[in-house]
Structure 1
Amino acid sequence: MSEGTLFIISAPSGAGKTSLIKCALKGLDNVSVSISHTTRLPRPGESDGINYHFISQCEFESMKKESKFLESAQVHGNYYGTSRDCVEKILLKGGDVVLEIDWQGANQVREIFDNCCSIFILPPSKDELRRRLIKRGQDKEETIKKRVAAAQEEMSHYNEANIIIVNDDFQASCSRLKAILEKQCDDNSTKSADQKLNILLTDLLS
Structure 2
Amino acid sequence: MATLFYVMGASGVGKDALMQYARRSIDGSRSIVFAHRYITRPFEAGGENHIYLSPGEFALRKGRNLFALDWESHGFCYGIGREIDAWMADGLDVVVNGSREYLPIARERYPHLVAVLIEADPAVVRQRLEGRGRETQEEVERRLRRAPVTTNTLCIQNDSTLEEGGNALLSTLFTHHQSSRT
Shorter-chain TM-score bucket reads 0.7 to 0.9
**TM-align CA RMSD:** 2.3
1:39 partner letter = T
Q: 1:43 to 1:105 in 2, by over 3 A?
A: farther
Structure 1: distance between partners of 2:81 and 2:69: 8
Q: Cα offset for 1:186? A: 8.5
Aligned counterpart in structure 1 of residue 127 of structure 2, from 126, 131, 144: 131
Consecutive unaligned residues of structure 1, counting only runs of 5 or more, are: 188-206
1:179-190 pair list within 5 angstroms? 179-184=171-176
Give structure 1 regions of 4+ aligned residues with deviation exceeding 6 angstroms: none
**Where does residue 27 of structure 1 map in the other structure?**
26
1:63 partner letter = R
1:100-119 pair list within 5 angstroms? 100-119=97-116
SS in 1 for 2:72: strand
Consecutive unaligned residues of structure 2, counting only runs of 5 or more, are: none
CA contact (8 A) 1:70 1:109 kept: no
SS in 1 for 2:2: coil
SS in 1 for 2:96: strand
Q: Cα offset for 1:144? A: 3.4
Aligned counterpart in structure 2 of residue 148 of structure 1, from 141, 144, 164: 141
Q: Which moved more, 1:167-176 or 1:9-18?
A: 167-176
Structure 2: distance between partners of 1:19 and 1:178: 13
- Structure with larger RCO (C-alpha < 8 A, sep 6+): 2
Q: 1:148 to 1:102 in 2, by over 3 A?
A: farther
Length, aligned pairs only: 175
In our comparison, the structure showing a higher alpha carbon Rg is 1
Identity level (%)? 23
1:150 partner letter = R
